[in-house]
Chains A and B, each alone.
Chain A
C-alpha cells in the first residue's frame, strides 16, 4: 500500500501541548478520535479545512503541522510505473 505523501507532526505537537490526548484534539477540531489516529498514522490526508482546524488547535499555521514530501510522491509514482 502506498503511503501518503503528506506527513505530519501531530503526535509530537500533542505531546508538547501538555500531552493532549487524541480524544481532546478530535473534540477540538470536530472529528472522531479514529480520524485523528488515521491522520497521525499517515493513512488519511485531511481536507484543507480540517488541516487548518488542526493547525489552529496547536496555534500554528498549516505548514507547521503538515508537510508535503515530493520525494515520497515521486518515489511512489516511479514504483507504480515500473514494469514487473
Chain B
C-alpha cells in the first residue's frame, strides 16, 4: 500500500472512530457532551508521522502520480468542504431565524459550520485519493 493510501485509510478510520464515540455517548444519555467526541479528529495531526515512516527502501515514497492524485483529491475536497460550509450556515440560519424565530443563537453554534467543513475536507480528500488510486485515468499535468 502506498503512503498516501495509508494516510487516507488512517484518516477515514479516525473519522469513523469519532462518529462511533459520539454515538456511544448519545446512546448512554450523554448527548450534551457528544460533540466533544469529535476531538478524536485531532489524531489527523499524526498523518505526517505515518508518511515519514512509509519511506521505501529506495527512498521513493511520493512521486508525480501521488502528487497529481493528492492535488486532484484536494481540489474536490475543497469544493465539497465549501459547499458543506455554505449549506450548514444557510440551514442553521433558516432553522433558527426562520422556523424557530429565534432572536439570537448560541455562540457555540458558530463552531459547527467550521468543524463540519474541516471534517468534510479531510474525509472527502481521503475518499477521493482512495478512489483515484483505484484506477481513474489521469495525467502528469506538467
Binding site for B on A (CB under 8 A): 1-4, 26-27, 30-32, 34-35, 38, 42-50
Contacts and interface: CB of A to CB of B under 8 A. Distances in A.
A43 to B, nearest CB: 5
Interface of B: 2, 56, 58, 60-61, 63-66, 135-142
Nearest to A31: B63
B142 A49 contact: yes
A66 to B, nearest CB: 12
14 contacts: A4-B139, A27-B60, A30-B63, A31-B60, A31-B63, A32-B56, A35-B63, A38-B135, A44-B139, A45-B139, A46-B65, A47-B64, A50-B64, A50-B140
A47 B60 contact: no
- The binding surface of chain B is classed by DSSP as loop
B136 to A, nearest CB: 7
A3 B142 contact: no
Nearest to A34: B2
Given A4-B137, A42-B137, 13 more contacts: A26-B58, A26-B60, A32-B61, A32-B63, A34-B2, A43-B135, A43-B136, A44-B65, A45-B137, A47-B64, A47-B139, A47-B141, A50-B64
Contact of B136 (A1, A30, A48): A1
Contacts of A42: 137
A35 B66 CA distance: 8
A27 B135 CA distance: 22
Contacts of B61: 32
Nearest to B59: A30
Contact of A47 (B66, B135, B137, B140): B140
Nearest to A23: B58
Contacts of B141: 47
B57 to A, nearest CB: 10
Contacts of B142: 47-49
Nearest to B3: A32
Indicate the member of A27, A47, A49, A50 with the most B CB atoms within 10 Å. Answer: A47
Contacts of A1: 135-137
